[in-house]
Structure 1
Amino acid sequence: MDLRLWPELAALYETPPDLSSCPLYYVHVDERDTAVTLGFETPQLPDHPRAEWEEKRYNTLRFFVVFTGVDELRITGIAAEHPDMRDRTVGVIVTGTGRQQVSVTSENRSITFSAAASAVTQSRVYLQGSL
């Protein structure tokens, strides 16, 4: 992942988690604002945690990526929390025109689209299970 794409993650990580290894637990398509929000979580803890996290016990970081100016949206094989979406790849490639080509694909399901911009929002840490 190119840290220049999401400075919010660059502030937390020297080497950010690979999105393909992060559980994707949230997908929201907002047709009014032509936006797609993807929610990820990772057990890869930040190298540079925020000051307000330092006193907390946590083992998971959860964050949302909001893609705006979305077009060419294609969704195939919709299924809520289907096992094959755990074994999937996530790609975000910036084209020569500056648009972001986004793909979340598994053997039988996929979400692909083009976006004008994206930003990481609402990142937070929490304790999942026990330490």
Structure 2
Amino acid sequence: MITWPELQALYGASPVPDLDTCHFFYIHIDERDTSVTFGFETQQLPPHPEPEWSQKAYNTLRFWIEFTGVTELRVAGLLAEAEREVRITRDGSPASLRVSVESERRSISFTATSARVSHRRVYLQGPL
């Protein structure tokens, strides 16, 4: 199981949202830096939000996971779909991750040397 310290700090003892339950809204492939970034959003709000978030109303958390040292990239379509499975596993050593997002018609898979939550932000989606 991969843990995300940047999210765990927000959720504490509460479970961090499962990526399969989050809306998968963003993919960026940067061939120059050999990185891939995924964007997710959830309405499962953290019990320990950032202090600056208390200044505004929000009901959605967005976060981006950046994978670096990407190799073995395989892409078959890029449209994020509701019915898909996200898998991130250790590939034999702590310094190697195997990543895949698969749906009925589209997929992306690769290996990466590291991953981190690069950005987090909250916003108001529709009425409260």
Q: Give the TM-score taking structure 1 as reference length.
A: 0.90
Moved over 2 A (4+): none
* Residue in 2 that maps onto 1:94: 90
Structure 2 counterparts to residues 88-127 of structure 1, below 5 A: 88-98=84-94, 99-127=96-124
State the AA in 2 paired with 1:122. Answer: H
Determine the C-alpha separation between the residues in 1 that align with 2:108 and 2:91.
18
- State the aligned residue count: 125
Quote how far apart the aligned CAs of 1:8 are. Answer: 0.3
* Residue in 2 that maps onto 1:10: 8
Q: 1:89 to 1:70 in 2, by over 3 A?
A: same
The answer to whether the aligner puts 1:20 opposite 2:16 as a matched pair is no
Quote how far apart the aligned CAs of 1:122 are. Answer: 1.5
Quote how far apart the aligned CAs of 1:97 are. Answer: 1.7
Q: 1:24 to 1:10 in 2, by over 3 A?
A: same
Structure 2 counterparts to residues 38-53 of structure 1, below 5 A: 38-53=38-53
Determine the C-alpha separation between the residues in 2 that align with 1:105 and 1:19.
13
Determine the C-alpha separation between the residues in 2 that align with 1:23 and 1:30.
22
In structure 1, list runs of 5 or more residues that go unmatched.
none
Determine the C-alpha separation between the residues in 1 that align with 2:121 and 2:78.
27
Quote how far apart the aligned CAs of 1:79 are. Answer: 4.9
Q: Give the TM-score taking structure 2 as reference length.
A: 0.92
Q: In angstroms, what is the RMSD of aligned CA positions?
A: 1.3
Determine the C-alpha separation between the residues in 1 that align with 2:92 and 2:71.
17
